[in-house]
């Protein structure tokens, strides 16, 4: 089964300038995801999609492919990740190189346990999923609507964490990576489709980098794993 890891990395970033190539624990942010994908023996190719020549050069330096530049019309602030995924599929189909599995890896989630991608692919195959997303357990009580507040739990019977039944356990979508059958991605134009699997990761893998504070937190986590 052919498997491609796809890493989207736009040049523009409002929260943190040049976020995808900002240094994090000794290497550019995007390098962490590239090296983790290359370390997985079940992944055949690692492709970076970007509209930035600088990002493309750095991606190649760390071993990924950057075989095309992403068009401006799918590189703006309102462009979806799916549009970039489908653009890559169009490119691969033109080369007769479409994979069976397509793994979307978010560069903004650099913390992943060793062999995590490998374990996820094996889990995906053994359960015959059509798509999969990473999640981590959430023990937070959430509310919505400031005008008419409503809670995600029964506040008249506030549950203790240890008493939450497995069927009632809520999970946070981490955004770290997604796996989808390529043919299903192309048909649905969505990363999540059909029989969806949840792949649970540790809480420290749920951090997404969107701010300078996130960089500080993730850097400390990565350094602790390197020690």
Q: What is the per-residue pLDDT for 29?
A: 98
User: Residue 65: which pLDDT band, with cuts at 50, 70 and 90?
Assistant: very high
Instruction: Give the closest residue to 8 by CA, choosing from 73, 63, 75.
Output: 75
Task: Report the pLDDT averaged over residues 156-172.
Answer: 77
Mind listing the domains of the chain with CATH numbers?
3-136+173-226 (3.90.550.10)
**Over the Cα atoms of the chain, what is R_g?**
18
User: Residue 187: which pLDDT band, with cuts at 50, 70 and 90?
Assistant: very high
Q: Which of 140, 158, 160, 161 is catalytic?
A: 158
Task: Report the pLDDT averaged over residues 10-38.
Answer: 92
Q: What is the per-residue pLDDT for 141?
A: 81
3-state class of 28 per DSSP? strand
The yes-or-no answer on residue 158 being catalytic is yes
Q: What is the pTM of this model?
A: 0.93
Q: What is the per-residue pLDDT for 227?
A: 67
Residue with tokens 């749920």: 206
What count of Cα atoms within 13 Å lies in the side-chain half-sphere of residue 73? 1
């Amino acid at each position: 089964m052919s498997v491609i890891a796809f890493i989207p990395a736009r040049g523009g970033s409002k929260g943190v300038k040049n976020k995808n190539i900002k240094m994090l624990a000794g290497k550019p942010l995007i390098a962490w995801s590239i090296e983790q994908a290359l370390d997985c023996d079940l992944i055949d190719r690692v492709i970076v999609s970007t509209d930035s020549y600088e990002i493309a050069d750095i991606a190649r330096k760390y071993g990924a492919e950057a075989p095309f530049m992403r068009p401006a019309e799918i590189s703006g602030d309102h462009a979806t990740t799916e549009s970039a995924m489908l653009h890559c599929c169009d490119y691969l189909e033109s080369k007769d190189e479409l994979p069976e599995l397509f793994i979307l890896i978010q560069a903004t989630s650099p913390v992943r346990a060793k062999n995590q991608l490998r374990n996820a692919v094996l889990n995906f195959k053994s359960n015959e999923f059509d798509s999969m997303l990473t999640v981590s357990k959430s023990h937070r009580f959430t509310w919505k609507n400031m005008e008419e507040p409503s809670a995600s739990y029964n506040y008249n019977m506030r549950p203790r964490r240890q008493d939450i039944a497995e069927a009632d356990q809520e999970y946070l979508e981490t955004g770290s990576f997604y796996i989808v059958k390529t043919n299903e991605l192309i048909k649905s134009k969505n990363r999540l489709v059909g029989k969806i699997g949840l792949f649970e990761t540790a809480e420290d893998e749920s951090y997404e980098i969107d701010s300078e504070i996130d960089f500080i937190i993730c850097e400390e986590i990565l350094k602790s794993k390197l020690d």
